[in-house]
Amino acid sequence: MTSDLAIKLAYELIEEAKVDLQAARELLKQKFFHKAVFESQQCVEKAMKATLACEGLTQVYEHDVGALFAAEVITHAPQDWVEELRNVFRDTSWLMEQYTATRYPAIRARTVVSPRKSYREDEAKDAIRTAELALNTIEKYIQQVTGKKNKST
């Protein structure tokens, strides 16, 4: 049984994920493609952390939580949710890897690679679509497994 406090945390994480998704959309309009990808990644990270909170894992501080999501959420999910959650995991794997690459210039193959110059509009749009689908699926999943609607909005 998950505590009411953990469930409240899950829904707060969902609300923050929605803010990240809105930020990604705005950044896309401004043609800051790397920042749109980053905010999309943040959306998915927070949504996955919301599912982890429903499993009682409320103190997760790493940024790529995909493996933990697979191990702790998918393996414990009701059977009718397993395939949808696996799809979220598969569809978001690229996005979860972008946490650092979208934020910091780096030296690669004897050249400086800048996030600002590394992402294209189509990648940003794809990241946003992926985040939208993941967030929608995860929010419905949390509502079903907790038996509660989001009351924080």
Q: What is the residue extent of each domain of the chain?
A: 4-146
Query: What confidence score (pLDDT) does residue 62 get?
Result: 83
Query: What confidence score (pLDDT) does residue 80 get?
Result: 96
User: In which residue are the tokens 């397993």 written?
Assistant: 82
Query: What confidence score (pLDDT) does residue 1 get?
Result: 54
CATH class of the structural domain 4-146? mainly alpha
Task: Identify the three-state secondary structure at position 59.
Answer: coil
Q: Which tens digits make up the pLDDT trace of 49-81?
A: 999 999 999 998 888 899 999 999 999 999 999
Q: Which of 124, 152, 133 is nearest to 31 (CA)?
A: 124
Q: How many Å separate Cα 85 from the centre of its chain?
A: 12
Q: Which tens digits make up the pLDDT trace of 93-151?
A: 999 999 999 999 999 999 999 999 999 999 999 999 999 999 999 999 999 999 876 65
